């Protein structure tokens, strides 16, 4: 089965079935690039750099699997059901991690999104407190660098899905008080005030309330994150925001024409605010054929939905279709760094970073199955001639600069 439909949502406006977590099988055929050998020079640069991953969905994954209620659960132990644990973060040289409270769009229909968001933020606090030898909460750029300097991993809080605020600026302010320093305005479904990239537009971008949300985030010093948003929503954010804008976990549409990826116009616009794009590590958003694979799936699932099949019939039809699809091309670290190269060429070295989306995707490129694989990015950047200073910007320096600027607004 190509896609795990337990992780899918049905977009109520047009019936599209879309992956929240992505394919469950790795790309299996040979590809353009190959595996990378780590060198001591790359490892030295990686150790010297402040390595910051701007997007990881571990809290929701822990709750979904009930791991937090399992006796003896600890991130100090190997967690094979997750992409993330402390030993692998250490192996990957990660100095700072943004953990996001991902709130499913389904809460827009059932209610309870705000409570779910708070539950996840409190889980992040609890995990930090129970792993205090390794983790420490950071709410400012200065705290990130200080915590990393003490040899700990700085834990930051983000929110994914603006519908979580339930149309209340006070709820948004509460997230900030609990430590959240960015919010992704939408996920895959359009909200009451912002259009999503995968869904049918209702507002032509941001509504008037959506503009109030952006202005409130600017005032607080909370970064506005446009990953998952429609192009028109991004344009409206770029017009309204007086602080740097980020796309915490997006990639380049010119390379991979996924609906989730950003056009050159929008990449330049984000850079124009002083912001940055954190490249997503999911192969379907990286490999040039990913957009076609995504679109073929969407087209077939929409055709099935028009036939009013039962859920069982739908699964049977999709399973049969997926078995007939050709193998997907291998995705290597080189494909990921192609996106970094492109953003550097379009917007400049100061406007790109890393937003892995681990524990929100099912796998990464070859040699990067989890958070232990970050040194391979450093090696590939070094192989392509990036200077030590520029590599350090990409690995985390740019995020620190952007957060510092947002704190001043």
Domains and CATH numbers, the chain: 5-408 (3.20.20.140)
Instruction: Give the pLDDT score at 306.
Output: 81
Backbone angles phi, psi at 340, to 5 degrees: -60, -45
Dist. CA 331–CA 34, nearest whole Å: 9
CA pair distance 347, 351, nearest whole angstrom: 6
Task: Check residue 345 and report its DSSP letter.
Answer: H
> What is the number of alpha carbons within 13 Å of residue 405 lying toward its C-beta?
20
Q: Is 313 helix (H, G, I), strand (E, B) or coil?
A: helix
Query: What count of residues does the chain have?
Result: 409
**What does DSSP assign to residue 18?**
E
Closest residue by Cα to residue 260 from 187, 204, 194: 187
Task: Estimate the crossing angle of helix 375-383 against helix 40-48, to 10 degrees.
Answer: 120
Name which of 12, 109, 3, 6 is nearest 305 in CA terms: 12
pTM for the whole structure: 0.90
Residue pair 192/183 in contact (Cβ under 8 Å)? The answer is no
Q: Which residues, at least 6 apart from 192, have a Cβ–Cβ distance to it below 8 Å?
A: 108, 163, 167, 207, 209
One digit per residue, the tens of pLDDT, for the chain of length 409 reads 333 333 333 333 333 334 333 333 333 322 348 999 999 999 999 999 999 999 999 999 999 999 988 888 999 999 999 999 999 999 999 999 999 999 999 999 999 999 999 999 999 999 999 999 999 999 999 999 999 999 999 999 999 999 999 999 999 999 999 999 999 999 999 999 999 998 889 999 999 999 999 999 999 999 999 999 999 999 999 999 999 999 999 999 999 999 999 999 999 999 999 999 999 999 999 999 988 888 888 788 778 878 888 878 888 998 898 888 887 789 999 999 999 999 999 999 999 999 999 999 989 999 999 999 999 999 999 999 999 999 999 999 999 999 999 999 7
Quick one: pLDDT at residue 70? 86
Q: What is the pLDDT of residue 318?
A: 86
Which is nearest to 187 in space by CA: 195, 176, 179, 177? 195
Give the number of other Cβ atoms within 10 Å of residue 99's Cβ. Answer: 26
User: What was the pLDDT predicted at 6?
Assistant: 30
Q: What is the rounded CA–CA span in Å between residue 213 and residue 231?
A: 18
Distance CA 60, CA 378 (A): 28
Task: Look at residue 76 in the predicted model and tell me its pLDDT.
Answer: 97
For residue 71, the number of C-alpha atoms closer than 13 Å in the C-beta half-sphere is 0
Q: How many CB atoms lie within 10 A of CB 71?
A: 4
Give me 245's structure tokens: 């804008």
Number of C-beta neighbours around residue 153 at 10 A: 20
Pairing of strands 8-10, 17-19: antiparallel
What SS3 state is found at 368? coil
For 293, residues 6+ apart whose C-beta sits below 8 A from its C-beta are 284, 328
pLDDT at 212: 98
pLDDT at residue number 297: 80
């Amino acid at each position: 089965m190509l896609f795990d439909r337990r992780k899918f949502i049905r977009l109520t406006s047009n019936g599209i079935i879309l992956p929240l977590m992505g394919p469950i099988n790795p790309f299996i055929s040979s590809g353009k690039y190959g595996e990378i050998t780590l060198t001591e020079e790359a490892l030295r640069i990686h150790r010297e750099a402040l390595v910051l991953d701007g997007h990881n969905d571990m809290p929701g994954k822990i709750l979904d699997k009930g791991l937090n209620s399992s006796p003896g659960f600890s991130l100090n132990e190997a967690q094979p059901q997750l992409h993330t644990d402390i030993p692998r973060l250490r192996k990957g040289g990660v100095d700072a991690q943004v953990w996001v409270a991902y709130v499913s769009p389904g809460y827009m229909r059932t209610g309870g999104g705000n409570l779910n968001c708070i539950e996840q933020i409190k889980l992040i606090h609890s995990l930090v407190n129970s792993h205090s030898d390794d983790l420490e909460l950071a709410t400012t750029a200065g705290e990130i660098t200080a915590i990393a300097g003490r040899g700990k991993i700085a834990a930051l809080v983000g929110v994914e899905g603006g519908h979580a605020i339930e149309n209340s600026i006070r709820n948004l302010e509460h997230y900030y008080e609990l430590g959240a320093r960015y919010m992704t305005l939408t996920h895959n479904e359009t909200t009451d005030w912002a259009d999503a990239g995968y869904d049918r537009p209702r507002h032509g971008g941001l509504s008037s309330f959506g503009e109030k949300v952006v202005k409130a985030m600017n005032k607080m010093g909370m970064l506005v994150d446009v990953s998952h948003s429609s192009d028109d929503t991004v344009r409206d954010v770029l017009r309204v925001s007086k602080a740097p804008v980020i796309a915490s976990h997006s990639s380049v549409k010119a390379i991979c024409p996924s609906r989730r990826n950003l056009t050159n116009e929008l990449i330049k616009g984000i850079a124009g605010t002083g912001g940055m794009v954190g490249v997503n590590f999911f192969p379907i958003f990286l490999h040039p054929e990913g957009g076609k694979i995504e679109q073929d799936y969407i087209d077939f699932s929409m055709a099935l939905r028009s036939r009013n099949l039962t859920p069982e019939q739908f699964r049977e039809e999709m399973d049969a279709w997926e078995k007939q699809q050709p193998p997907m091309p291998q995705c290597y670290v080189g494909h990921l760094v192609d996106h970094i190269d492109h953003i550097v060429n379009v917007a400049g070295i100061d406007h790109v970073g890393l937003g892995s989306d681990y524990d929100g995707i099912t796998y990464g490129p070859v040699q990067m199955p989890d958070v232990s694989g970050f040194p391979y990015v450093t090696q590939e950047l070094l192989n392509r001639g990036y200077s030590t200073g520029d590599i350090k910007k990409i690995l985390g320096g740019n995020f620190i600069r952007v957060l510092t600027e947002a704190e001043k607004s």
